Structure 1
Amino acid sequence: MDIYLKYFLIGLAIAMPVGAITVEMTKQGLKNGFIHGWAVGIGGMTVDILLILALYFGFASVLALPYVQTPLWIVGAGFLAYLGCDSIKNADKDITPADEKTQKSFFSTYRNGLLVAVSPGNLVFWVSVFGAVLTQSYSSSHSGSFAIAAFGVMSGILIHDLGLLSIVSVTRKVMSRQMIRWVSVIAGIMLLGFSLYFVYEFVNGLIELF
């Protein structure tokens, strides 16, 4: 129970700072409602679960290699730049009033969550935070510690996402179309900012490699 609570709080803490996933979730939640904001969160958690499985089956050392992490910065930058430009360009499109049913597909927003979550930052987190737990999980006395820790982190992220989207859903009911449009523009600018940061990290990674 102590392991679960510890990693639940870690999951909650890492989800709280405003990041690319939070920005995209909020934008989709305002434009198309709770379910579409949640689709972004599910996309991000899908990547997290795949990383957990990769670590469990022994890929931690591979994921920690600079030659693996560095190219992912530019890949992530490309995805975020695409989503940022799309958010600004289509800021006035796909806005569904709170009392109407959205026509936007669930899969399209889920895909956005996947694209945003492809980040070396995710790799660094899972490799560093779960490094010690992964080692312990192979001993008979701590055989379930890795699974408990992973479940704890994912629970923390889940609670954060549900709480955020509940607030967004209530806020959406009192926001005008123009206000939501500007939120989409601001979200696009923030995603482009994250993209530039990824490019910066990519350049730094290349400098360190060569």
Structure 2
Amino acid sequence: MSLFLEAAAIGLAIAAPVGPIGLLCIERTLRRGPATGFVTGLGAASADGLYASAGAAGMGTLLYTLSTIATPLALAGSALLLYMGVGTLRRAAANHAARASEGGGLLAAYLSALGLTLSNPMTILSFIAVFASLAGGQHATPADAALMVAGVFTGSALWWLLLAYGGGRLLARLGPAGQRRINQLCGVLLIGFAVLMAWRTLAG
């Protein structure tokens, strides 16, 4: 239980900082409701769980493979962020009815967040370091590895649940004008993240 709780705290800490997925969660919660925002977060939590699985297993071969395609993955993620940011700005400029009805279903929201999170393969390095610390420098048993992966996913999913259903209710009180400004800010920040990610990838 202690190992699970420690891993859950790590998953929560990884998910909590404001980033592209957090902005998408907020924007989609305002536009299509908390369920869509939460499912968006679950896509990111699933990606964290996949990387956590690789980190817990110490998959050196997978790590090497990911490192060889890190640049195209990161650039693909930048392009996806740019597309979403521009789309958010366009929806913010449209009427409220159009914003509410636009977009795919829950599966599309989940898959887009999953792909966006997986486009940052260097995240796996963090999980390998964290899991080595949790395991006390020893090779984790299958049971310990499963607990750590489950803890990371649970902690991450808990954050998205709180953001979508708790933060979403607070943001909904802003009214249409306030929500439009929030969406505009989200769009600008998403584009900024896209540019920053591409610049770091090409400069590195």
What does residue 145 of structure 1 align with?
144
* Contact kept in structure 2, 1:15 and 1:160, CA below 8 Å: yes
Q: CA deviation at 1:130?
A: 2.9
Q: Read off the aligned partner of 1:128 and give its amino acid letter.
A: A
Q: 1:30-64: per-residue Cα shift (whole Å, max 9, x none)?
A: 11111110121122123223334444666444325
- Indicate the residue corresponding to 2:63 in structure 1: 63
What does residue 180 of structure 1 align with? 179
TM-score w.r.t. the length of structure 2 is: 0.82
* Cα contact 2:4–2:148 (8 A) shared by 1: yes
How far did residue 95 of structure 1 move?
4.6
Would you say 1:7 and 2:7 are equivalent positions?
yes
State the identity %: 24
Indicate the structure with greater helix content.
2
Over aligned residues, Cα RMSD in angstroms?
2.7
Report if aligned partners of 2:172, 2:179 keep a CA contact under 8 Å in 1.
Answer: no
Contact 1:38 1:165 (8 Å CA) reproduced: yes
Offset at 1:121? 4.5
Q: How does 1:1-210 map to 2 (within 5 A)?
A: 1-55=1-55, 59-64=59-64, 66-93=67-94, 95=96, 104=103, 105-117=105-117, 118-131=119-132, 133=135, 136-137=139-140, 142-205=141-204
Q: Structure 1, residues 159-186: CA drift from partner, whole Å, max 9, x if none?
A: 1111111223322442222221221111
* Separation in 2, partners of 1:135, 1:89: 51
- Following the alignment from structure 1 to structure 2, what is the Cα–Cα distance between the partners of residues 60 and 43? 24
Q: Note the residue ranges of structure 1 that are not aligned, 5 or more in a row.
A: 206-210
The count of corresponding residues between Structure 1 and Structure 2 is 198
Deviations 1:123-156 (A, max 9, x none): 333333234549622xxxx341111111111111
- Paired residues of 2:54 and 2:124 also in contact (CA < 8 A): no
TM-score normalized by the length of structure 1: 0.80
Contact kept in structure 1, 2:79 and 2:194, CA below 8 Å: yes
Q: Is the 8 Å Cα contact of residues 32 and 94 (structure 1) preserved in structure 2?
A: no
Cα 1:90–1:167 shift into 2, 3 Å = same
